[in-house]
Amino acid sequence: MRFKFLNLKFLAVLILVVALSADVAQAARIKDLVNIKGVRNNQLIGFGLVIGLQGTGDRATNVFFSIQAVVNMLRKLGVTVPEARIQQLQFKNVATVLVTADLQAFSKQGDHLDVLVSSLANATSLQGGTLLLCPLKGPDGEVYAVAQGALSIGGFSVQGAARGVQKNHLTVGRVANGGIVEKEIPTQFNSKKEIFLTMKQTDFTTGERIARKINDMVKDEVARPEDGRTIRVEVPLFYKDNTSAFVTQIETLTVEPDTRAKVVIDERTGTVVMGENVRISRVAVAHGNLFIQIREEPLVSQPAPLSGGETVGLPRTRITVEEGQDKLLILPKGVALGKVVNALNSIGVTPRDLIAILQAIKVAGALHAQLEII
């Protein structure tokens, strides 16, 4: 009865996956299928100092660049530290950090962005710290933003004499809206005469459908696939110097994406997900259940009173072997996903049995789909 209940649950999950995938496959926005070449985020990085820590900062005796960073900062603020005293400095309330951020496409001067702060040396916690003014540079070495502000680590650490309690990671924090864009990335997007759409998944069929949909919209042959990933689109004269409006019209168009036949298997959890295009050639599947139970039931040998004997334990093992009725199932040629699920469920296949069956069908050459094991 328990196996039947599992099978029914497994069948219900697969039917739900099939129904959802069918609805999604009917239509998807071009906006969700492609990216526009050249329109992307840019990563920034910087080196900075976090101050105001409660004795959880870098141990300066072991981190020489922490001392150098603090001394350089003090010099910029007009404070001179004698050379003889530099090696004697201790800054337990200061931590050296790396600051990272994503500069979004078309960001303008003065825009705010979130920054991520990560400890670089041996600080134990950034809780309660404040990031000092830190320049953020791009791969070209130019400063595009600056960051400063109080850190939020989303956790805490409490220590007692015998034990402590810690929640979340304490050496990584975030400064919400702590970055300010200082330099814009130059762009001439509206003056472009052509744009390139790069699909998120390589597929010639979907690329052809997207190009045909765009051409139908403008009533002209302005779009054509360059390869299985790129679609070249010429901007019509009607949208001259207004490419953004043309892209807006393209993004809202819907296309039915073509998908490859794929079966994804997670052996650790017994999860199997099959796409709607999975097909199986004519094949016979035999499925049998073998049940083995081993029980240890030790016996105790008790001697008669006053016999002088000793009480001893005697091992006893009982092994029960039951073999269920073998079932042979023949799957016809070209059978679709729904019929495969119904047929395998009819012979009492559990999710883990299904994994073994699909692997065997793939080896036999009857499964016309990509089998991916994660």
- List pLDDT tens digits, range 293-316: 545 566 667 776 766 667 766 666
Tens digits of pLDDT across the chain (374 residues): 444 444 444 444 444 444 444 444 468 999 999 999 989 999 999 999 999 888 888 876 666 777 778 778 878 888 777 776 666 666 788 888 999 999 999 999 999 999 999 998 888 889 889 999 999 999 999 999 999 999 998 766 666 655 666 667 788 999 999 999 999 988 889 999 999 999 998 999 999 999 999 999 999 999 999 999 999 999 999 998 999 999 999 999 999 998 888 888 887 777 778 777 777 777 776 666 544 454 556 666 777 676 666 776 666 656 554 555 555 555 565 556 566 666 666 666 677 777 777 788 788 787 788 888 88
d(CA 337, CA 343): 10
> Treating both helix axes as pointing N-terminal to C-terminal, what angle do 2-26 and 337-346 enclose, rounded to 10 degrees?
180
- 238 by DSSP, 3-state: which? helix
Residues 6+ away with beta carbon under 8 Å from 156: 127, 165, 166, 167, 168, 170
C-alpha dihedral sign at 14, 15, 17, 22 = positive
State the pairing for strand pair 370-373/262-266. parallel
The tokens of 171 are what?
């050496």
Say if residues 247 and 253 touch (Cβ distance below 8 Å). Answer: no
d(CA 227, CA 182): 38
Helix (H) or strand (E) holding 239: none
d(CA 371, CA 374): 10
